[in-house]
Structure formats: C-alpha cells, structure tokens
Amino acid sequence: MHSRNFIFAIGAQKSGTTTLHNLLLSNKSINLPRNKETHFFSHDNIYSKGYDWYTNQFIRPDGPFCEVDPSYLFFSKSADRIKTVAEDPKFIVIFRKPLERAFSHYLMSCYRGYEELSFLSALEIEEKRLKNDNELFSFINHSYLKRGDYAEQLSVYLERFDQSNFLFIKFEDLITNENHNVINSICEFMGIKNDFNIDRMPESNKKRKVKSKLVRDFLYKDSTVKRMLNSMLPSIAIKMRIKGIIDSLNSTHYNKIDSVNQSKEIMEKIPEKYFMWSNKQSELLSSLTGLELSDWEYRR
C-alpha cells in the first residue's frame, strides 16, 4: 500500500474519457501519464512490469497521480489491483446510454478493421464470440453489449471502496459546452482549482472513415514488418505519436448530417429486445448511483 494520492477515471469506454483526458491535460496542476492509458491494472503483461514502471509513466515524479483508462472498469481484476497500491483512491466514472455506447464501440471496431458484420449481426453473435474468445480479442473489440452492463462492473468497485470515493457523470452532461457545473464538480472532487480556461470542450474521437485500408491494417493489425519497426522504436511515446500522425492523415471525418442519417437508418433495424436491454441497464445504474437517467429511456 502506498500513501500517494490516486485519482482514476475508469470509464466507461466510448463515453467521453478521451474528452476528459484532453480537458485535464489543459490544467498544469494535474499529473497524468505521458500516454493516456497505461492499462497497468487491467492487462497482465503490463501489470507484471511492476509498480515502479507504472509511476515512471507519469509526467511528474511527485504529486497525486491521475489516470484516465476505461479498461479499469471493464476488467474486474483492476479493482483489487488498485486496492493493493492505493490507500484511498478517487474514481470518476462517466456513463453513456448503453445502446448508444455499443454502437459507438461498433463503429470504432469497424474503423480499425476489426469488424465486418452489420451492427445487428454483431450484436446477435456477440455472446458466441466472447464465449470462444481465448485471446481476449473479442472481449476487447466485440464486447458491445457486455461493456454496457454498468451496474455489474461498478458493483465490483463499490464492494471494495466507499461510494463517497466516486463521482458519477452522464456523458451528455460532460460533452456539452454548457457544462460548467460538471467541470466545477470534477475540480471539487479532485481537490483542484478550476484553471482550465477553455471556451469550448475539446472534440475528441469524432466519427471517422479510413482513406486506405492497407494503411489502416498496418496500423491496427499484427505483421512481421510492424514488429520489426516496433523493435527499432523503443519509446512507447514515440510509437504512439507516429501512429497518431499516420492515423490522422489516413482518415477523414464524416459529414455530421450523413453521420446522423446513417446512425438513424441502422438503429431503425434494431429489434425491440436491445432497446429494452438498454433501458434495463439504465434502470439498474440509476438505482446504484442515484443518477437521474429517465431521459435515457427508449420509447418506440
């Protein structure tokens, strides 16, 4: 157990965690890792590097550590691992309407070349994929519904940490430019001054499409050439920076109207059972956190 203060934004994935990370970056009093997500507490191969490796990932060697990593909510082992090193950690958790989150996750997997099925087909086959997933590939990339079981995932943390250690936020309350109350609540919770000085929230992870699938596959899929190049670049930060530049050059943003129309067309084909599932998850989450989520209810 270490006496250092920790603050974790543990999720949920595709619920504004990158927006939160970019917001926190603009405040110089916050000590973040050089790369947004270390996956230290969630991934066995990273956790085996040890606590000293983890602390060396942060911008400054002293002061409270703050990390934004949505894998910590989904990988249940993370809670126990955090408990072994953090005496009294704080947790920020952002939630998004479950079915909406699932669709955003699906689009990300399509963009990376990990998904070729339609959204509905992917939902229908998800359980089978996860059941036969020996390498955790589908657990990470095809867990569209599974990651929306918020109450189940959050309960693991609430069994180990007091609920006063948590700040729960709705996705739509964070990303709006009229989010002064949310920003103030984050600062109060973290014990910092509101020194962000921003006119509007940073736009992060906007919906994109690739220009070249060949370049996309090189970035996101394993290959001998990629492994050779990685061995020549020992710095993770440099690797991430180069990947980000190439990825940006190889993508274009969707026209907002086209994006909305595409999403509407796809969602109209989704069976009622998935809307009911989303409503049920929202109800369970509301009971657990006290968040007012009546506006998340789907009515058809």
Predicted local distance difference test score (pLDDT) of residue 162: 95
Tokens of 187: 């600062």
**Any residues with CB less than 8 A from the CB of 201 and at least 6 apart, and which?**
19, 23, 174, 175, 176, 177, 179
* Residues 147-175: tens digit of each pLDDT: 999 999 999 999 999 999 999 999 999 98
The Cα 14–Cα 136 span in angstroms is: 19
Predicted local distance difference test score (pLDDT) of residue 201: 64
The residues facing 269 across adjacent strands are none
Compute how many other C-beta atoms are within 10 angstroms of the C-beta atom of residue 184: 11
Predicted local distance difference test score (pLDDT) of residue 200: 62
The Cα 269–Cα 34 span in angstroms is: 42
* Residues 186-196: tens digit of each pLDDT: 999 999 888 77
Predicted local distance difference test score (pLDDT) of residue 239: 81
- Please count the CA atoms within 13 angstroms of the CA of 168 that sit on its side-chain side: 18
Compute how many other C-beta atoms are within 10 angstroms of the C-beta atom of residue 68: 26
Predicted local distance difference test score (pLDDT) of residue 111: 94
Predicted local distance difference test score (pLDDT) of residue 66: 95
The Cα 138–Cα 136 span in angstroms is: 6
> Which stretches of the chain score pLDDT less than 70?
1-3, 197-205
Is the model's pTM score more than 0.85? yes
Chain centroid offset of residue 72 CA: 9
Predicted local distance difference test score (pLDDT) of residue 38: 95
Compute how many other C-beta atoms are within 10 angstroms of the C-beta atom of residue 86: 21
